[in-house]
Chain A
Amino acid sequence: MTSSLWRQHVLPFTVLLGLLAVATIAGDYLLHRLNLVWVGRYLGIPGTLLIIGSLVYSLRKRKYITAGNPKTLLTLHEVGTWLGSLMVLIHAGIHFNAILPWLATVAMGVNVISGMVGKLLLRRSREHVLGQREHYQLRGLAKVEVERAVFWDAVTLDTMNQWRKVHIPIFIVFAVLSLGHIISIFLFWGWI
Protein backbone atom coordinates (compact mmCIF):
# COMPACT_ATOMS: atom_id res chain seq x y z
CA MET A 1 0.00 0.00 0.00
CA THR A 2 1.48 3.38 -0.98
CA SER A 3 1.81 6.21 1.53
CA SER A 4 -0.64 8.35 -0.46
CA LEU A 5 -3.26 5.60 -0.28
CA TRP A 6 -2.84 5.57 3.52
CA ARG A 7 -2.78 9.32 3.87
CA GLN A 8 -5.59 10.10 1.47
CA HIS A 9 -8.01 7.30 2.20
CA VAL A 10 -7.28 4.98 5.11
CA LEU A 11 -6.32 7.75 7.49
CA PRO A 12 -9.42 9.92 6.93
CA PHE A 13 -11.55 6.78 7.32
CA THR A 14 -9.87 5.92 10.63
CA VAL A 15 -10.01 9.52 11.84
CA LEU A 16 -13.72 9.92 11.01
CA LEU A 17 -14.57 6.64 12.69
CA GLY A 18 -12.34 7.40 15.69
CA LEU A 19 -13.85 10.86 15.93
CA LEU A 20 -17.32 9.34 16.10
CA ALA A 21 -16.21 7.11 19.00
CA VAL A 22 -14.43 9.96 20.81
CA ALA A 23 -17.34 12.39 20.29
CA THR A 24 -19.76 9.78 21.64
CA ILE A 25 -17.72 9.17 24.79
CA ALA A 26 -17.12 12.92 25.28
CA GLY A 27 -20.81 13.72 24.77
CA ASP A 28 -21.88 11.04 27.20
CA TYR A 29 -19.30 12.21 29.76
CA LEU A 30 -20.34 15.86 29.45
CA LEU A 31 -24.03 15.07 29.87
CA HIS A 32 -23.26 13.16 33.06
CA ARG A 33 -20.85 15.83 34.31
CA LEU A 34 -23.30 18.68 33.68
CA ASN A 35 -26.16 16.68 35.18
CA LEU A 36 -27.96 16.75 31.83
CA VAL A 37 -28.46 13.02 31.39
CA TRP A 38 -32.11 13.63 30.50
CA VAL A 39 -30.94 15.40 27.31
CA GLY A 40 -29.42 12.12 26.10
CA ARG A 41 -32.77 10.50 26.56
CA TYR A 42 -34.25 12.75 23.88
CA LEU A 43 -31.20 12.93 21.54
CA GLY A 44 -32.52 9.84 19.75
CA ILE A 45 -35.26 11.99 18.18
CA PRO A 46 -33.10 14.57 16.33
CA GLY A 47 -30.59 11.80 15.53
CA THR A 48 -33.27 9.69 13.87
CA LEU A 49 -34.68 12.71 12.02
CA LEU A 50 -31.21 13.55 10.67
CA ILE A 51 -30.71 9.99 9.45
CA ILE A 52 -34.16 9.96 7.83
CA GLY A 53 -33.43 13.34 6.21
CA SER A 54 -30.14 12.07 4.81
CA LEU A 55 -32.00 9.30 2.97
CA VAL A 56 -32.97 11.84 0.31
CA TYR A 57 -29.63 11.03 -1.32
CA SER A 58 -30.47 7.30 -1.44
CA LEU A 59 -33.80 8.11 -3.12
CA ARG A 60 -32.06 10.42 -5.61
CA LYS A 61 -29.39 7.82 -6.35
CA ARG A 62 -32.01 5.19 -7.12
CA LYS A 63 -34.00 7.75 -9.17
CA TYR A 64 -37.09 7.62 -6.96
CA ILE A 65 -36.81 11.39 -6.99
CA THR A 66 -35.21 13.58 -9.64
CA ALA A 67 -34.75 16.87 -7.81
CA GLY A 68 -31.48 17.87 -6.15
CA ASN A 69 -27.81 17.83 -7.03
CA PRO A 70 -26.52 14.28 -6.27
CA LYS A 71 -23.12 15.54 -5.13
CA THR A 72 -24.66 17.98 -2.64
CA LEU A 73 -27.11 15.35 -1.48
CA LEU A 74 -24.24 12.88 -0.98
CA THR A 75 -22.42 15.40 1.20
CA LEU A 76 -25.62 15.99 3.18
CA HIS A 77 -26.06 12.21 3.44
CA GLU A 78 -22.55 11.78 4.84
CA VAL A 79 -22.74 14.68 7.28
CA GLY A 80 -26.34 13.93 8.29
CA THR A 81 -25.74 10.25 8.98
CA TRP A 82 -22.50 10.96 10.87
CA LEU A 83 -24.15 13.56 13.11
CA GLY A 84 -27.35 11.54 13.43
CA SER A 85 -25.34 8.45 14.39
CA LEU A 86 -23.45 10.48 16.96
CA MET A 87 -26.71 11.61 18.56
CA VAL A 88 -28.18 8.12 18.51
CA LEU A 89 -24.96 6.69 19.99
CA ILE A 90 -25.02 9.22 22.84
CA HIS A 91 -28.72 8.46 23.32
CA ALA A 92 -27.94 4.73 23.40
CA GLY A 93 -24.97 5.19 25.71
CA ILE A 94 -27.15 6.90 28.28
CA HIS A 95 -29.27 3.84 28.96
CA PHE A 96 -28.75 0.34 27.62
CA ASN A 97 -31.57 -1.70 29.06
CA ALA A 98 -33.36 -3.66 26.37
CA ILE A 99 -32.06 -5.98 23.65
CA LEU A 100 -33.97 -4.48 20.70
CA PRO A 101 -32.42 -0.99 20.88
CA TRP A 102 -29.04 -2.63 21.53
CA LEU A 103 -29.36 -4.58 18.26
CA ALA A 104 -30.53 -1.43 16.47
CA THR A 105 -27.42 0.40 17.70
CA VAL A 106 -25.12 -2.39 16.53
CA ALA A 107 -26.87 -2.43 13.14
CA MET A 108 -26.44 1.34 12.90
CA GLY A 109 -22.73 1.00 13.71
CA VAL A 110 -22.25 -1.60 10.98
CA ASN A 111 -24.23 0.62 8.64
CA VAL A 112 -22.05 3.66 9.34
CA ILE A 113 -18.82 1.68 8.88
CA SER A 114 -20.01 0.07 5.65
CA GLY A 115 -21.02 3.49 4.33
CA MET A 116 -17.63 4.93 5.20
CA VAL A 117 -15.84 1.98 3.59
CA GLY A 118 -17.76 2.69 0.42
CA LYS A 119 -16.97 6.38 0.54
CA LEU A 120 -13.34 6.37 1.52
CA LEU A 121 -11.73 3.03 0.70
CA LEU A 122 -13.38 1.02 -2.00
CA ARG A 123 -12.89 3.13 -5.13
CA ARG A 124 -9.24 3.88 -4.41
CA SER A 125 -8.50 0.26 -3.51
CA ARG A 126 -10.11 -0.98 -6.70
CA GLU A 127 -7.90 1.42 -8.68
CA HIS A 128 -4.94 0.21 -6.67
CA VAL A 129 -5.54 -3.48 -7.54
CA LEU A 130 -6.20 -2.67 -11.21
CA GLY A 131 -2.97 -0.69 -11.34
CA GLN A 132 -1.05 -3.57 -9.77
CA ARG A 133 -2.54 -6.02 -12.25
CA GLU A 134 -1.59 -3.79 -15.21
CA HIS A 135 1.88 -3.29 -13.74
CA TYR A 136 2.51 -7.06 -13.56
CA GLN A 137 1.06 -7.63 -17.03
CA LEU A 138 3.37 -4.97 -18.46
CA ARG A 139 6.29 -6.78 -16.85
CA GLY A 140 5.30 -9.79 -18.99
CA LEU A 141 3.99 -12.05 -16.24
CA ALA A 142 1.58 -14.80 -17.28
CA LYS A 143 -2.06 -14.35 -16.35
CA VAL A 144 -1.84 -17.03 -13.64
CA GLU A 145 1.24 -15.38 -12.15
CA VAL A 146 -0.44 -11.95 -12.21
CA GLU A 147 -3.44 -13.35 -10.35
CA ARG A 148 -1.14 -14.97 -7.80
CA ALA A 149 0.73 -11.68 -7.29
CA VAL A 150 -2.41 -9.66 -6.61
CA PHE A 151 -4.17 -12.49 -4.76
CA TRP A 152 -4.21 -10.94 -1.26
CA ASP A 153 -5.03 -7.48 -2.56
CA ALA A 154 -7.89 -8.98 -4.54
CA VAL A 155 -9.11 -10.86 -1.48
CA THR A 156 -8.99 -7.64 0.56
CA LEU A 157 -10.84 -5.79 -2.18
CA ASP A 158 -13.44 -8.53 -2.34
CA THR A 159 -13.92 -8.34 1.43
CA MET A 160 -14.38 -4.58 1.13
CA ASN A 161 -16.87 -5.17 -1.65
CA GLN A 162 -18.85 -7.50 0.58
CA TRP A 163 -18.67 -4.95 3.38
CA ARG A 164 -20.00 -2.33 0.98
CA LYS A 165 -22.78 -4.63 -0.18
CA VAL A 166 -23.89 -4.97 3.43
CA HIS A 167 -24.81 -1.25 3.53
CA ILE A 168 -28.38 -1.59 2.24
CA PRO A 169 -29.41 -4.89 3.93
CA ILE A 170 -28.00 -3.77 7.26
CA PHE A 171 -29.79 -0.45 6.83
CA ILE A 172 -33.06 -2.35 6.47
CA VAL A 173 -32.26 -4.28 9.66
CA PHE A 174 -31.38 -1.02 11.40
CA ALA A 175 -34.58 0.64 10.16
CA VAL A 176 -36.83 -2.23 11.26
CA LEU A 177 -35.18 -2.56 14.69
CA SER A 178 -35.29 1.20 15.23
CA LEU A 179 -38.94 1.23 14.22
CA GLY A 180 -39.61 -1.53 16.76
CA HIS A 181 -37.84 0.51 19.43
CA ILE A 182 -39.74 3.69 18.50
CA ILE A 183 -43.11 1.90 18.45
CA SER A 184 -42.40 0.35 21.85
CA ILE A 185 -41.55 3.79 23.26
CA PHE A 186 -44.80 5.27 21.92
CA LEU A 187 -46.74 2.26 23.11
CA PHE A 188 -45.47 2.16 26.68
CA TRP A 189 -44.24 5.63 27.53
CA GLY A 190 -46.51 8.36 28.83
CA TRP A 191 -45.46 11.39 26.79
CA ILE A 192 -47.81 13.77 28.55
Chain B
Amino acid sequence: MSRFLKIILAANLIVLAVLAFVYPHLMVGPGKLIPGHKQLEADCFACHAAFTGADSPRCVTCHKPAEIGRLTSAGLPIAKPLTSTPFHQKLVSQDCVACHSDHAGVKRFRPVGHFNHRLLEKATRDECQSCHKSPKDNLHQQITGNCSQCHSQDKWVPATFDHDKYFELDRDHNDRCVTCHVRNDYSRYTCYGCHEHSSDKIRRKHIKEGIRDYDNCVECHRNADEHDIRGPYGDGKGKGEGQREGGHGRREHDD
Protein backbone atom coordinates (compact mmCIF):
# COMPACT_ATOMS: atom_id res chain seq x y z
CA MET B 1 0.00 0.00 0.00
CA SER B 2 1.47 3.35 -1.01
CA ARG B 3 2.27 6.02 1.59
CA PHE B 4 -0.15 8.41 -0.10
CA LEU B 5 -3.00 5.88 0.15
CA LYS B 6 -2.21 5.28 3.82
CA ILE B 7 -2.41 9.01 4.54
CA ILE B 8 -5.74 9.33 2.67
CA LEU B 9 -7.10 6.34 4.59
CA ALA B 10 -5.96 7.62 7.96
CA ALA B 11 -7.35 11.10 7.25
CA ASN B 12 -10.75 9.69 6.28
CA LEU B 13 -10.96 7.52 9.34
CA ILE B 14 -9.96 10.41 11.61
CA VAL B 15 -12.70 12.57 10.06
CA LEU B 16 -15.23 9.79 10.63
CA ALA B 17 -14.10 9.36 14.25
CA VAL B 18 -14.47 13.11 14.87
CA LEU B 19 -17.93 13.07 13.26
CA ALA B 20 -18.94 10.17 15.54
CA PHE B 21 -18.16 12.30 18.58
CA VAL B 22 -19.67 15.53 17.25
CA TYR B 23 -22.82 13.99 15.74
CA PRO B 24 -23.30 10.73 17.70
CA HIS B 25 -27.05 10.69 17.06
CA LEU B 26 -26.41 10.56 13.30
CA MET B 27 -23.30 8.40 13.28
CA VAL B 28 -24.11 5.71 15.84
CA GLY B 29 -27.62 6.38 17.21
CA PRO B 30 -30.26 3.78 16.24
CA GLY B 31 -32.76 6.27 14.84
CA LYS B 32 -34.48 9.40 16.06
CA LEU B 33 -35.62 9.81 19.65
CA ILE B 34 -39.28 10.27 20.58
CA PRO B 35 -40.39 13.93 20.18
CA GLY B 36 -40.40 14.49 23.96
CA HIS B 37 -36.70 13.65 24.17
CA LYS B 38 -35.61 15.57 21.09
CA GLN B 39 -33.43 17.95 23.10
CA LEU B 40 -31.41 14.96 24.40
CA GLU B 41 -30.54 13.71 20.93
CA ALA B 42 -26.85 14.65 20.98
CA ASP B 43 -26.40 13.81 24.67
CA CYS B 44 -26.29 10.01 24.69
CA PHE B 45 -25.16 9.78 28.30
CA ALA B 46 -28.23 11.65 29.52
CA CYS B 47 -29.98 8.25 29.36
CA HIS B 48 -27.19 5.71 28.75
CA ALA B 49 -24.62 4.50 31.23
CA ALA B 50 -21.37 3.32 29.64
CA PHE B 51 -21.45 -0.41 28.82
CA THR B 52 -24.73 -1.06 30.67
CA GLY B 53 -27.14 0.78 28.40
CA ALA B 54 -30.08 3.01 29.25
CA ASP B 55 -30.71 2.70 32.97
CA SER B 56 -33.85 3.39 34.97
CA PRO B 57 -32.24 5.62 37.65
CA ARG B 58 -31.49 8.19 34.92
CA CYS B 59 -35.09 8.05 33.68
CA VAL B 60 -36.36 8.55 37.21
CA THR B 61 -34.38 11.78 37.66
CA CYS B 62 -36.90 13.43 35.28
CA HIS B 63 -39.85 11.02 35.46
CA LYS B 64 -40.78 10.54 39.11
CA PRO B 65 -42.65 7.22 39.41
CA ALA B 66 -45.21 8.74 41.80
CA GLU B 67 -46.08 11.39 39.19
CA ILE B 68 -46.15 9.28 36.03
CA GLY B 69 -49.63 9.31 34.54
CA ARG B 70 -50.60 12.28 36.74
CA LEU B 71 -48.07 15.01 36.07
CA THR B 72 -45.70 15.75 33.21
CA SER B 73 -41.94 15.74 33.84
CA ALA B 74 -42.30 19.53 34.18
CA GLY B 75 -44.75 19.02 37.05
CA LEU B 76 -47.88 20.08 35.15
CA PRO B 77 -51.11 18.05 35.23
CA ILE B 78 -51.55 15.78 32.20
CA ALA B 79 -54.47 17.05 30.16
CA LYS B 80 -55.32 13.77 28.45
CA PRO B 81 -53.86 10.78 30.31
CA LEU B 82 -53.42 7.62 28.24
CA THR B 83 -55.02 5.52 30.96
CA SER B 84 -57.84 6.47 33.30
CA THR B 85 -55.85 5.11 36.26
CA PRO B 86 -52.12 5.76 36.69
CA PHE B 87 -50.43 2.39 37.05
CA HIS B 88 -46.69 3.14 37.15
CA GLN B 89 -46.98 3.38 40.93
CA LYS B 90 -48.18 -0.22 40.98
CA LEU B 91 -45.33 -1.88 39.11
CA VAL B 92 -43.46 -4.76 40.72
CA SER B 93 -40.13 -3.13 39.76
CA GLN B 94 -39.00 0.14 38.21
CA ASP B 95 -37.48 -1.22 35.00
CA CYS B 96 -38.30 1.50 32.46
CA VAL B 97 -36.65 -0.10 29.42
CA ALA B 98 -38.64 -3.29 29.94
CA CYS B 99 -41.50 -1.41 28.22
CA HIS B 100 -40.12 1.85 26.83
CA SER B 101 -37.74 2.47 23.96
CA ASP B 102 -36.93 5.90 22.61
CA HIS B 103 -35.00 5.32 19.39
CA ALA B 104 -37.02 4.72 16.23
CA GLY B 105 -34.76 1.82 15.24
CA VAL B 106 -35.25 0.06 18.57
CA LYS B 107 -38.99 0.69 18.65
CA ARG B 108 -39.30 -1.54 15.60
CA PHE B 109 -38.45 -4.49 17.85
CA ARG B 110 -40.90 -3.46 20.54
CA PRO B 111 -44.23 -2.79 18.87
CA VAL B 112 -46.56 -0.53 20.82
CA GLY B 113 -49.12 -2.51 22.79
CA HIS B 114 -46.81 -5.34 23.83
CA PHE B 115 -47.10 -4.46 27.48
CA ASN B 116 -46.15 -7.24 29.86
CA HIS B 117 -48.92 -7.40 32.46
CA ARG B 118 -46.74 -9.45 34.77
CA LEU B 119 -44.89 -6.23 35.58
CA LEU B 120 -47.98 -5.09 37.48
CA GLU B 121 -48.73 -5.95 41.08
CA LYS B 122 -51.18 -8.83 41.39
CA ALA B 123 -54.14 -6.74 42.59
CA THR B 124 -53.70 -4.16 39.80
CA ARG B 125 -53.23 -6.88 37.21
CA ASP B 126 -56.79 -8.11 37.76
CA GLU B 127 -58.35 -4.66 37.41
CA CYS B 128 -58.40 -4.72 33.62
CA GLN B 129 -61.10 -2.07 33.30
CA SER B 130 -58.96 0.56 35.02
CA CYS B 131 -56.79 0.71 31.89
CA HIS B 132 -58.85 -1.02 29.19
CA LYS B 133 -62.22 -0.04 27.82
CA SER B 134 -64.72 -2.79 27.16
CA PRO B 135 -65.38 -3.44 23.44
CA LYS B 136 -68.57 -1.88 22.09
CA ASP B 137 -70.11 -5.10 20.80
CA ASN B 138 -73.31 -6.51 22.27
CA LEU B 139 -71.64 -9.29 24.19
CA HIS B 140 -69.01 -7.18 25.94
CA GLN B 141 -71.42 -4.36 26.68
CA GLN B 142 -73.36 -6.81 28.83
CA ILE B 143 -70.33 -7.91 30.84
CA THR B 144 -68.55 -6.10 33.60
CA GLY B 145 -65.25 -7.34 34.95
CA ASN B 146 -63.98 -10.91 35.21
CA CYS B 147 -62.16 -10.57 31.82
CA SER B 148 -59.77 -13.40 32.66
CA GLN B 149 -62.65 -15.86 32.40
CA CYS B 150 -62.21 -15.66 28.61
CA HIS B 151 -59.05 -13.63 27.90
CA SER B 152 -55.44 -14.12 28.87
CA GLN B 153 -53.15 -11.24 29.82
CA ASP B 154 -50.78 -11.97 26.96
CA LYS B 155 -53.24 -11.71 24.08
CA TRP B 156 -56.80 -10.48 23.65
CA VAL B 157 -57.48 -13.23 21.13
CA PRO B 158 -57.93 -16.11 21.09
CA ALA B 159 -60.55 -15.83 23.81
CA THR B 160 -60.94 -19.27 25.27
CA PHE B 161 -64.39 -19.30 26.82
CA ASP B 162 -66.47 -22.18 25.49
CA HIS B 163 -70.09 -21.79 26.55
CA ASP B 164 -71.01 -25.20 25.09
CA LYS B 165 -68.93 -26.75 27.83
CA TYR B 166 -71.63 -25.54 30.23
CA PHE B 167 -74.66 -25.21 28.02
CA GLU B 168 -75.18 -25.19 24.24
CA LEU B 169 -76.58 -21.91 23.02
CA ASP B 170 -78.72 -23.34 20.23
CA ARG B 171 -81.40 -21.42 18.36
CA ASP B 172 -83.86 -21.81 21.24
CA HIS B 173 -81.33 -20.28 23.60
CA ASN B 174 -79.94 -17.58 21.37
CA ASP B 175 -80.80 -14.81 23.78
CA ARG B 176 -79.14 -11.97 25.64
CA CYS B 177 -76.67 -13.06 28.30
CA VAL B 178 -78.60 -11.20 30.97
CA THR B 179 -81.64 -13.45 30.43
CA CYS B 180 -79.81 -16.24 32.24
CA HIS B 181 -77.04 -14.29 33.98
CA VAL B 182 -79.04 -11.76 35.94
CA ARG B 183 -77.27 -8.43 36.52
CA ASN B 184 -74.42 -9.74 34.34
CA ASP B 185 -73.27 -11.95 37.15
CA TYR B 186 -71.55 -14.72 35.21
CA SER B 187 -70.81 -16.71 38.32
CA ARG B 188 -74.52 -17.59 38.49
CA TYR B 189 -77.35 -18.38 36.12
CA THR B 190 -81.05 -19.01 36.12
CA CYS B 191 -83.21 -20.94 33.70
CA TYR B 192 -86.36 -19.19 34.89
CA GLY B 193 -85.65 -16.00 33.00
CA CYS B 194 -87.90 -16.93 30.09
CA HIS B 195 -91.52 -17.77 29.60
CA GLU B 196 -90.81 -21.42 28.72
CA HIS B 197 -89.19 -22.40 32.00
CA SER B 198 -91.32 -21.19 34.86
CA SER B 199 -90.35 -22.48 38.30
CA ASP B 200 -93.82 -23.95 38.76
CA LYS B 201 -93.72 -25.89 35.51
CA ILE B 202 -90.21 -27.21 36.15
CA ARG B 203 -91.04 -28.20 39.71
CA ARG B 204 -94.11 -30.12 38.60
CA LYS B 205 -92.21 -31.98 35.88
CA HIS B 206 -89.38 -33.01 38.17
CA ILE B 207 -91.52 -34.01 41.12
CA LYS B 208 -93.51 -36.17 38.75
CA GLU B 209 -90.25 -37.98 37.90
CA GLY B 210 -89.36 -38.22 41.56
CA ILE B 211 -86.58 -35.67 41.37
CA ARG B 212 -86.45 -33.23 44.24
CA ASP B 213 -83.12 -31.59 43.68
CA TYR B 214 -83.36 -29.75 40.37
CA ASP B 215 -81.83 -26.39 41.26
CA ASN B 216 -78.63 -26.87 39.27
CA CYS B 217 -80.25 -27.42 35.86
CA VAL B 218 -77.02 -27.78 33.83
CA GLU B 219 -75.92 -30.67 36.01
CA CYS B 220 -78.29 -32.80 33.91
CA HIS B 221 -79.31 -30.55 30.99
CA ARG B 222 -76.54 -29.24 28.72
CA ASN B 223 -78.70 -28.37 25.73
CA ALA B 224 -82.28 -27.91 24.57
CA ASP B 225 -82.79 -31.63 24.01
CA GLU B 226 -84.77 -32.71 27.08
CA HIS B 227 -83.92 -36.36 26.39
CA ASP B 228 -80.20 -35.71 26.57
CA ILE B 229 -79.89 -36.13 30.31
CA ARG B 230 -76.46 -36.09 31.98
CA GLY B 231 -75.61 -36.59 35.61
CA PRO B 232 -77.15 -39.23 37.90
CA TYR B 233 -80.26 -39.66 35.72
CA GLY B 234 -78.53 -39.70 32.40
CA ASP B 235 -76.30 -42.23 30.64
CA GLY B 236 -73.42 -41.35 32.86
CA LYS B 237 -71.41 -39.16 30.49
CA GLY B 238 -70.69 -35.62 31.40
CA LYS B 239 -71.30 -36.01 35.11
CA GLY B 240 -69.67 -33.23 36.99
CA GLU B 241 -68.48 -31.41 33.85
CA GLY B 242 -68.73 -27.67 33.77
CA GLN B 243 -70.36 -27.15 37.14
CA ARG B 244 -70.96 -23.49 37.73
CA GLU B 245 -70.25 -21.71 40.92
CA GLY B 246 -73.95 -20.96 40.98
CA GLY B 247 -74.85 -24.61 41.26
CA HIS B 248 -76.25 -25.03 44.71
CA GLY B 249 -78.59 -27.14 46.77
CA ARG B 250 -78.62 -30.84 47.53
CA ARG B 251 -77.39 -33.28 44.92
CA GLU B 252 -79.48 -36.32 45.82
CA HIS B 253 -82.74 -37.23 44.04
CA ASP B 254 -85.64 -39.38 45.20
CA ASP B 255 -85.62 -42.49 43.04
**Chain A interface residues toward B at CB < 8 A:** 37-38, 41, 95, 97-101, 103, 168-169, 172-173, 176-177, 180-181, 184, 186-192
Contact = CB atoms under 8 A, between A and B. Distances in A.
Interface in B124-145: none
B51 A180 contact: no
B103 A97 contact: yes
B109 A100 contact: no
Contacts of B97: 190
Contacts of A176: 13, 16
A184 B28 contact: yes
Interface stretch (B52-60, B61-69, B185-193, B239-247): B52-60
The 9 tightest CB contacts between A and B, nearest first, are A190-B53, A97-B105, A184-B28, A97-B31, A97-B30, A100-B27, A95-B105, A188-B48, A98-B28
B21 to A, nearest CB: 11
Given A37-B108, A100-B16, A187 B29 contact: no
A95 B104 CA distance: 10
B40 interface: no
B interface residue count range (under 10 / 10 to 19 / 20 to 34 / 35 or more): 20 to 34
Contacts of B55: 190
Main secondary structure of the interface of A (DSSP, over half): helix
Task: Indicate the member of A97, A103, A191 with the most B CB atoms within 10 Å.
Answer: A97
Task: Indicate the member of A41, A103, A189 with the most B CB atoms within 10 Å.
Answer: A189
Nearest to B29: A98
Given A169-B5, A189-B53, A190-B53, A180 B16 contact: yes
Contacts of B51: 186-187
21 contacts: A37-B108, A97-B30, A97-B31, A97-B103, A98-B27, A98-B28, A99-B19, A100-B20, A103-B16, A169-B5, A172-B9, A173-B9, A177-B16, A180-B17, A181-B28, A184-B20, A188-B53, A188-B54, A189-B53, A190-B54, A190-B55
